[in-house]
Amino acid sequence: MIRKWIIALVVTICVSAVSTEFINFIKPNEVNTTVLVETQSTSIETPTAKPTSSPTIKPTATPTIEPTETIDPTPTRTAPNVSVKTDIDSEILDYLILRSAESGYSLELLQGMIQLESSCTWDPNFIDNQDYGLMQINTCNHEHLREAFKDKYPEFDILNYKTNIDCGIYMLDVFKQSLERRLGRNPTELEVLTAYNKGSYYVEIKGIYKPYVDRVLEYKDQYKIWNTWRELKYE
Domain range annotation of the chain? 1-39, 90-233
149: exposed, middle or buried (C-beta count within 10 Å: 0-12, 13-18, 19+)? middle
Question: Residue 140 gets which letter from DSSP?
Answer: G
pLDDT score for 193: 98
Instruction: Indicate the pLDDT class of residue 233, thresholds 50, 70 and 90.
Output: confident
Please give the model's pTM, rounded to 2 decimal places. 0.68
Q: Which residue has the higher pLDDT, 77 or 42?
A: 77
Considering the segment(s) 90-233 as one domain, its CATH architecture is Orthogonal Bundle (1.10)
Average pLDDT (68-84) is 69
pLDDT score for 148: 97
Could you list the beta-strand ranges (E) of 31-167: 127-128, 131-132, 137-138
Question: What distance in Å separates the CA atoms of residue 17 and residue 210, rounded to the nearest whole number?
Answer: 163
Enumerate the β-bridge partners of residue 138. Answer: 131
Q: Which residue has the higher pLDDT, 161 or 14?
A: 161
pLDDT score for 30: 43
Residue 4 has pLDDT above 70, yes or no: no
Average pLDDT, the chain: 81
pLDDT score for 79: 87
